[in-house]
Amino acid sequence: MSPGRTRRQEAEIWKSIIFRRKRFSVLPSVLRAKILQRICFERLGVAPNERLLEAMDRSVSAGGPSAA
């Protein structure tokens, strides 16, 4: 558990996020990156760099086991 967080807060961070891949994939890439960036910041408290955002976008859009 991270310092300063309760067990409940920690559990909220790791709740699943569900994407509708087809709908997500047709959004403009800038919007997809903003969505992923906001999720990382709100859930983890970190701002991912551009490279990580691109990798996350590919993973979510492509699907497969690594997207889980």
Q: Which domain holds residue 31?
A: 7-16+27-63
Check: pTM over 0.85? Answer yes or no. no
Instruction: Answer whether residue 21 is part of any domain.
Output: no
Number of domains in the chain: 1
- CA 11 → CA 14, 35, 40, 51, 54, distances in Å? 5, 21, 15, 27, 26
44 contact partners, CB below 8 Å, separation of at least 6: 13
Instruction: Answer whether residue 2 is part of any domain.
Output: no
Instruction: Answer whether residue 1 is part of any domain.
Output: no
Instruction: Answer whether residue 12 is part of any domain.
Output: yes
pLDDT digits (tens, 9 = 90+) for 10-37: 667 667 777 788 888 899 999 999 999 9
With a cut of 60, say whether residue 1 has pLDDT above it. Answer: no
Rounded Cα distance, 57 and 59, in Å: 5
pLDDT digits (tens, 9 = 90+) for 41-68: 888 888 899 999 999 898 888 876 555 5
CA-based R_g, the chain, Å: 13
Coil/strand/helix, residue 45? coil
